[in-house]
Every structure is written in structure tokens, then in C-alpha cells.
Amino acid sequence: MSRFTTCVFLSLLAFAPAALAVDGIVLINQSTITNGLTGCPTGGHFPIVICQSGSYRLSGNVTVPDANTSAIQINADNVTLDLNGFSILGPVGCGGNPVTCTQGSAAAVGIGNLFGNSYITVSNGTIRGLGGYGILLSGTGILIERVKAANNGIDGINVGGTSDTIITLCHANANGRSGFVGGGTLSNSSAINNGADGITWYGGTVTGSVSAYNVGKAFVGLGVFIANYAIGAGGGFNAFDASVIISNVQQVNGAPIIAPSGSVVLNNVAQ
């Protein structure tokens, strides 16, 4: 390709529509709110609605105008959303110890689905400063990986409690309420300095994760908790029902482990 041809191609690309399909992947950026995505509702405003199955990718940061506005709403099954290293941003600020946030509307989410759509994957980026939840998804087959949810008014990442939900390599820091809420499998993730419990898990497995300096307890719920680290919380592990709590490390201010009859509690270390 000649230098002239290359320049022409780059010039055309600069003025291409925001929802440009590249190898079957639909690109999303701030300009997408103008025309919306092909075939999906749009009024020239947020949220950006994904109404068709497929692969989507951010090609730039997406910023909502206020703390009462959602960024991306997924109304279809079988959707893969790659944040591509970019961020979904809002104006909410959180800080202090214990953390407090300038909370907006609970309905304002970074990425959400209203209808319990299934087989949704979100990966590789940051969601920060939304009025409500960073991510609020329900339905089967949810996969979230390599996402940081920080400084959101309510929870960082809140998902349905189905057994096939997977969250891995994610971080939920300085959110107004909990870091993670859900069920399924949570692994190799961290919840730090959140305004309520660090990790609330309603069945499934939590492994290799850190819950540190949250206002409430480090780990709450029921299920299998193996090789996790709890530090500086109001308590370590608070199980609602019979659970398996094995080989965890704790350095907490409150009760290290609260587990009802029928639980398996082995080889945990208090420092």
C-alpha cells in the first residue's frame, strides 16, 4: 500500500461511523450515542443499547453526563463486550476511610441488562464513577474477566447467583457498598476499601481472592471458600448456611470465622 493510499484510508477511518464493524466486531465509543447501534433503539442519548447478539468492542472511553445515567444496556443473549483497555466513566467520587461516595441513582449502571439476558461476557477494562452499580447483570452464563470496578455509588460488580456465573481476575475497589455480590465462581480477584462487605457470595466457589479493609466483613454468604485472604475487616468469613472454609489466611479485627453446624472448617490461618 502506498503512503498516499494509507493516508486516504486513515482519513476515511477517522470519519467513519462509531458503530463500525471490523471483522464482525461492532465498535462502540462516545459517538455511538448519536446514531445508536444498527437496529437498536436510540434517541441520541444514553444508555447505548445493545439489542442484537454479537461481539462488541470499545474503541474509546465512554463517559456519562451525570450520576443518574446508565452507560450500556444489553438487551440480547449471546453478547461479548470487550472494553479493550478503555473505561466507562461517570462523575461519582468515592474516598475516605471508611469510604463514602456521592451516590447517584441506583438505576445508573455502567453495564447492565434489564431482562436477565444470558451468555454475556464483559472483559478488559475499567468502570468507574457510576451513580449506582459498576456492573449489574443477571441471567445464566455470565462471564466477567479482567475488569476493574471502582468508585461506583453502590456495588462494584453485582451478578445473578446462577451456578455457571464466572468472575475472574477482577478488582472492585472503593465502591459505596459491596465489592462483589453474586454466586457461581469467583477467583483471583480483589475487593478493597468498599463501603460494606467485601465479597457477598450466595453459593458456589470463591478461591484465591483478597478482601481487605472493607467497612463490613471480608467474606459473607455460603459456599466453598478456599485459599483466600481476609484482612482488616469487621470479620473474616460469615457463613449463612453450611459451607466449606479451607486454607484461608485471616488478619481481621472481628470474628475470624462464623460458620453454622454442618460446615467444614479446616487449615485456616490467623495472623
* Helix/strand/coil percentages in the chain, nearest 5: 5, 40, 50
**In this predicted model, what pLDDT tens digit does every residue of 8-33 receive, in sequence order?**
343 434 334 445 666 789 999 999 99
* Secondary structure letter of residue 18 according to DSSP: T
As a whole number, mean pLDDT of residues 102-109 equals 84
The letter for the amino acid at 125 is: G
Q: What is the pLDDT of residue 232?
A: 87
Local confidence band at 257 (pLDDT 50, 70, 90 cut-offs): very high
- Which helix or strand (DSSP H or E) is residue 61 part of? none
Instruction: Give how far Cα 262 sits from Cα of 122, 228, 248, Å.
Output: 36, 21, 18
Residue ranges per structural domain of the chain: 17-188
Q: What is the pLDDT of residue 27?
A: 97
**In this predicted model, what pLDDT tens digit does every residue of 214-244 receive, in sequence order?**
999 999 999 999 999 999 878 899 999 999 9
Q: What is the pLDDT of residue 71?
A: 97
Burial 103-118 (b: 16+ CB within 10 A, else e): bbbeebbbbbbeeebb
Dmax (CA) of the chain: 75
Nine cell digits for residue 126: 475499567
**In this predicted model, what pLDDT tens digit does every residue of 117-173 receive, in sequence order?**
999 999 999 999 999 999 999 999 999 999 999 999 999 999 987 889 999 999 999
How far apart are the two ends of the chain, measured CA to CA in Å?
63
Q: What is the share, in percent, of the chain residues with pLDDT greater than 90?
A: 76
- Which helix or strand (DSSP H or E) is residue 12 part of? helix 3-14
Q: What is the pLDDT of residue 23?
A: 79
pTM higher than 0.95 for the full model? Answer: no
Higher pLDDT, residue 235 or 186? 186
Q: Which residue from 120, 123, 115 is spatially nearest to 84, judged by alpha carbons?
A: 123
Residues 213/229, Cβ–Cβ less than 8 Å: no
C-alpha span between 87 and 158 (Å, rounded): 18
Q: What is the pLDDT of residue 95?
A: 86
